[in-house]
Amino acid sequence: MQDDWTGTVPYRHGTDGQPRPYLWLTLTGPNGSSIPIIGLADSGADKTVLPRDYINLLGYQPDDLEPTQVGQVEGSAAAWDAKAPCEATVVGVEEVSFQIYPLFVDTLDPLWGRADFMAAFRVSVSERRQELGLHLPA
């Protein structure tokens, strides 16, 4: 059985000026506020990673977060793991919603990870075409 194709998204230029598979998601935090966020679809991210500034924007309280350490290319870093989920949808594909428990770190760009975003969609990347493809789950 073939999955339903939802479409492709052209690469966008990131903070470094290079085209990458960025995608807009709308996140609704524990306080009910919804905000669109552009992030990089990253198969190397175990779960969704957001810059620490989003803690307040999404309405997380100190009791909603668990301090932790995460491994990165440059070593380990302080992080805050959400104990309460956000509801997420891909902008333009609102009929598919999923939960994410973001990890908040000091970073520049949001990363959409394997355990949440890539569990809701099958993702394909075409470097030749410079596009990100999304397939609805079967």
pLDDT digits (tens, 9 = 90+) for 53-93: 999 999 999 999 999 988 766 777 889 999 999 999 999 88
What's the confidence (pLDDT) of residue 1? Answer: 37
**Pairing state of beta strands 131-135 and 12-13?**
unpaired
pTM of the model: 0.89
Contacts of 34 (CB under 8 A, 6+ apart): 26, 27, 28
C-alpha R_g of the chain: 15
Q: Tell me 119's DSSP state.
A: H
Q: How many helices (H) and strands (E) does the chain have?
A: 2, 14
Q: What is the pLDDT of residue 73?
A: 65
Pair type for strands 103-105 and 49-51? parallel
The pLDDT tens digits for 19-54 are 999 999 999 999 999 999 999 999 989 999 999 999
Q: How far is residue 13's CA from residue 66's CA, in Å, rounded to a whole number? A: 33
Q: What are the boundaries of each domain within the chain?
A: 5-135
Tokens at residue 63, please? Answer: 């009791």
| Distance from C-alpha of 123 to C-alpha of 137, rounded to nearest angstrom | 10
Question: What is the side-by-side order of every strand in the sheet holding 131-135?
Answer: 5-10, 131-135, 122-126
**pLDDT by residue (tens digit) across 87-128?**
999 998 888 899 999 999 987 789 999 999 999 998 999 999
d(CA 138, CA 134): 12
CATH topology classification for 5-135: Cathepsin D, subunit A; domain 1 (2.40.70)
